[in-house]
Amino acid sequence: LVNLDKEHTKDYKRARSELKKRSTDTLRLQKKAKKGSKELQRRVECSLQDMTERKLVLEEIEKKAVRSALIEERSRFCLLVAFLKPVVDEEVAMLSELSHLQEVVDQLEKHSADPHTLPPASEQVINDVKSSDNWTVQSPPSSPGSLGSRKSSMCSISSLTSSSSGSSKSHHSPSHHHWHRSLSHVSGTVEQNNVSTPCGNGSSTVISHPTSTWPNLQESLQFERAATAIINDRPHTI
């Protein structure tokens, strides 16, 4: 804009000075033409026409300067719009995403209105399970902790057996035979629970025991019986 202003000022001063000069010459010729000379009258007409043309040139210079200033301002405005449009597009996209989020929130509110009422899909799953005839509930397998407790119990029984046999080498009572039968029964039960036989289709079937549904209770009873037999078999020291 500074360069445009400088160019406009220079062109305006030059055109104005030319117009002022032509106007001064025209006034002087008009004073001389009052004497009635045809030559002076023709020169006055030419001077008036030249002055009119100078006025048109000055007007054109002003129009050109104004047009240049407006074009410069418009180019800056267009540049601003070109850089602003992507930002506005992003804002519009965010607003559209917010509208989608509002729909999602409405759906969540609809599905979580009553916590004590199951949705139709869950009710359908329940009906499908009830209508099926081949579904069974399987008991969970023994945990590693229970297997470890069984092993530690057997080790305790073995250590008690060795200590009782060392302290009473010369005593062989019926309770001693009952203790060996109890240990044999415990070992047989554990082995029977762990033995598997192959089936015709390549899979293995575990041999079940009548009391294998509650293994912890059965082993506890056997352990109590074995401990009672050991106490009865050991000699009194007091």
Distance CA(71)–CA(84), nearest Å, equals 19
Q: Which of 108, 136, 169 is the last residue of a domain?
A: 108
Q: Which of 57, 84, 108 is the last residue of a domain?
A: 108
The answer to the question of residue 19 being in a domain is: yes
CATH number at 79 reads 1.20.1270.60
Residues 91 and 175 in one domain: no
Residues 104 and 150 in one domain: no
Residues 103 and 157 in one domain: no
Residues 6 and 104 in one domain: yes
Tokens of 128: 């499908």
Residues 68 and 156 in one domain: no
Return averaged pLDDT per consecutive 10 residues of the chain, 238 residues in all. Answer: 74 78 76 70 77 82 85 91 92 82 84 82 80 57 52 55 48 46 48 43 42 54 70 52
Residues 85 and 31 in one domain: yes
Task: Report the number of secondary-structure helices (H) and strands (E) in the chain.
Answer: 6, 2
Q: End-to-end CA distance of the chain, in Å?
A: 121
The answer to the question of residue 113 being in a domain is: no
Q: Which of 61, 89, 108 is the last residue of a domain?
A: 108
Residues 96 and 164 in one domain: no
Query: Residue 9: its pLDDT value, please?
Result: 79
Tokens of 159: 């250590």
Helix, strand, coil share (%) of the chain residues, nearest 5: 75, 5, 20
The answer to the question of residue 42 being in a domain is: yes
Distance CA(223)–CA(160), nearest Å, equals 12
Pairing of strands 204-206, 196-198: antiparallel
Residues 43 and 95 in one domain: yes
The answer to the question of residue 130 being in a domain is: no
206 dihedral zone (left: phi>0; alpha: psi -120 to 50; beta): beta
Distance CA(227)–CA(233), nearest Å, equals 10
Query: Residue 153: its pLDDT value, please?
Result: 54
Domain count, the chain: 2
The answer to the question of residue 224 being in a domain is: yes
Query: Residue 170: its pLDDT value, please?
Result: 42
Residues 92 and 181 in one domain: no
Range(s) of the domain holding residue 185: 146-194+206-233
The answer to the question of residue 18 being in a domain is: yes
Distance CA(152)–CA(31), nearest Å, equals 142
The answer to the question of residue 116 being in a domain is: no
Residues 104 and 16 in one domain: yes
The answer to the question of residue 125 being in a domain is: no
DSSP 32-101: HHTT--HHHHHHHHHHHHHHHHHHHHHHHHHHHHHHHHHHHHHHHHHHHHHHHHHHHHHHHHHHHHHHHH
CA dist 48 → 41, 78, 93 (Å): 11, 44, 66
Tokens of 236: 């009194």
Residues 100 and 159 in one domain: no
Distance CA(194)–CA(207), nearest Å, equals 8
